[in-house]
Amino acid sequence: METTGGNSRRLRVGIVGAGLGGVGAAVHLIKRGHSDLEIFEKSEKPGGVWWDNKYPGCGVDIHSHAYSYSFMKYPWKRTHATQPELQQYVEDTIDAFDLRPKIHFNTVVEKIIWDDDRDLYRMEFADGSAKEFEVVISAVGFLINPKYPTWPGMDVFKGEMFHTSRWRSDIDLRGKRVAVVGTGSTAAQVVPGVADDVAELKVFQREPGYVAPKNARAYTDFEKFLYNSVPGMARLSRIRAFTRATIRNRGFDITSTRQRLNKEVCVGNIVNNVEDPETQEKLTPQYAWGCKRQIESSDYYPTFNKPHVKLVPRAVTELTEDGIIDTDGTAHPVDVIILATGFETTKYLSSIEVYGENGLSLQEAWKRRAAAFVGVTVPRFPNFFILYGPNTHGGYSVIAQLECAARVAARAVRKMKRKGWRRVNTPQKALDDYMAWLDRKFATAGSAMLADCNNYYRNEAGDNVTNWPLPNIHYSYMTTVRPYFDLVGTPGRAGSAGTAPVAEAELSKEPTS
Ligand code: NAP
């Protein structure tokens, strides 16, 4: 049992998910002296999306030194890491901080239920067992549930069909006629990833994305020496990557000069790399840059110059026994359909039932709009922290975003221990003010995300529930400074049952940044 300041109440932390978020949260807790934690992972291995996604060409399009934990320097081999390297990075982080004994693999969390009388959560698992935790951190990820189309004829197609995040390595694509449906960041990797194996490749595009050059490459021996052996060089490279992204992100303001410049870079990428003028035109987006997530690739466009690769700039209307019918009524006979159709993004935490004070369900609280204070805490769900929560996607490096949220949780746990608090909760007013601030940012600095295109950011009511409108640095500010003022502690004496009086509330001021 861990005690702080004479408070003998144990603070057990249950973390759901051993992806980049869950592992990062555990390290931030340990760094603040709290090791009474357990991690529950549904898969047989850690890594989250980097375990799920193993399609050919899979890797990250963020610079390696930025797509790294702040606490885990790594001898990256390339400017942009590939999926196997990223999986190894997670495994190495786990071992560096001796987390493996704390992780329960193949363990599915089904319910998390707050006990109002005892100030703790009961976590229930698919195998019927349960555990109790005073604090819960959800790190279940965001791009995890595949979005499957509902075309007529899905059941009559006689070939093979699978989603990119459920890659079928048992299916040999060599010599096959293959269709890739979708043209997002995943398709931009999988299309060049499979093109040289297949007999014929058709890429079905509903609406093109903006694609900037990625310029990924292996580090030279000199660069490896520089980054791994010369103090400060990897950090400098990290700062440079974040600075460049911060400048690029100014383009999310639809009225900015940077919006025009970002567009020009992406359109130039088409003109420089696609030979056929008609294909060039079909690949050119007709909406604001930043309305969809920017794709980064240097090998996607050149793939369309290969004689056996064709862009079909039309949606799929139905499947037949032997292939695809598009919106023109053209039939495309294919052997394999690869669904690069993305993920269910707006239904946060839909795979787990979470209940807070007075039995309130999280899905009920989020009926109109998924919303969390700085993306992390929800009023009436005490001691519950969310990583990769509503409106935290984006910025630049998701690891940086996850670490900011992890710090909020870890600091709150430390404060609970020091002050003997039994609950930390967020006032509704703090969340309302925060959401109003976010919406103002979407109307200005993030206006491109509300422009007229298909994107996965908006819920049925049209609110952007997924994205952070500003660069990472602003999220770092919001999560470092604001929660100290906005989280309200409910102190209780050591071992006392029930709810103690609310502490003098350090109530929120409206965020101004
Ligand atoms: P996505 O960006 O949501 O793209 C899905 C694609 O499928 C879009 O082109 C979409 O068309 C199309 N689509 C969806 N439903 C369809 C349907 N019923 N019929 C025809 N087309 C359909 O998904 P994603 O490419 O998997 O990427 C998701 C996110 O994952 C990215 O934005 C990024 O955040 C992350 N990601 C990151 C990396 C990385 O390197 N860091 C790599 C891959 C993915 P519309 O555009 O018309 O909707």
> How are the residues of the chain apportioned to helix, strand and coil, as percentages rounded to the nearest 5?
35, 20, 50
In this structure, of 19-33, 151-165, 273-287, 480-494, the range with the lowest mean pLDDT score is 480-494
Which helix or strand (DSSP H or E) is residue 321 part of?
none
Q: What percent of the chain has pLDDT over 90?
A: 89
Average pLDDT over residues 362-389: 96
DSSP state, 341? Answer: -
Distance 189 CA to ligand 1 centre (A): 11
- Band (pLDDT 50/70/90 cuts) for residue 480 is confident
| Nearest residue by C-alpha to atom 3 in ligand 1 | 342
Substitution candidate for ligand 1 out of 89, 154, 185 with most atoms within 8 A of CB: 185
Structure tokens at 49: 């999306």
Distance 200 CA to ligand 1 centre (A): 22
| Nearest residue by C-alpha to atom 43 in ligand 1 | 186
Backbone angles phi, psi at 475, to 5 degrees: -65, -35
| Nearest residue by C-alpha to atom 6 in ligand 1 | 182
Which atom number of ligand 1 is nearest to the Cα of residue 67? 41
Average pLDDT over residues 412-436: 91
| Nearest residue by C-alpha to atom 16 in ligand 1 | 341
The ligand 1 site (C-beta within 6 Å) comprises: 60-62, 143, 149, 181-187, 189, 206-207, 293, 315-316, 340-343, 454, 456
Mean predicted lDDT score pLDDT of the chain: 92
Residue burial 417-443, b: 16+ Cβ < 10 Å; e: rest: bebbbbbbbbbeebbebbbebbeebbe
Rounded to 5°, angle at Cα 317 from 314 and 318: 135
| Nearest residue by C-alpha to atom 13 in ligand 1 | 341
For 442-472, write each residue's pLDDT tens digit. Answer: 999 999 999 999 999 999 999 999 999 999 9
Average pLDDT over residues 38-44: 98
| String of DSSP letters for 84-105 | HHHHHHHHHHHHHTT-GGGEE-
Q: Is 260 helix (H, G, I), strand (E, B) or coil?
A: helix
Query: Whole-angstrom Cα distance, residue 382 to residue 39?
Result: 19
- A 10 A CB-CB count for 445 gives 19
Output the pLDDT for position 7.
Answer: 54
Average pLDDT over residues 469-484: 83
Query: Does residue 501 surpass a pLDDT of 60?
Result: no
For 262-278, write each residue's pLDDT tens digit. Answer: 999 999 999 999 999 99
| Nearest residue by C-alpha to atom 12 in ligand 1 | 182
Query: Whole-angstrom Cα distance, residue 414 to residue 11?
Result: 10
Residue with tokens 């209940």: 355
Query: Does residue 492 surpass a pLDDT of 80?
Result: no
Query: Does residue 482 surpass a pLDDT of 80?
Result: no
Average pLDDT over residues 26-40: 98
DSSP state, 167? Answer: -
Distance 209 CA to ligand 1 centre (A): 9
Query: Does residue 489 surpass a pLDDT of 70?
Result: no
Output the pLDDT for position 490.
Answer: 46
Q: Is 490 helix (H, G, I), strand (E, B) or coil?
A: strand
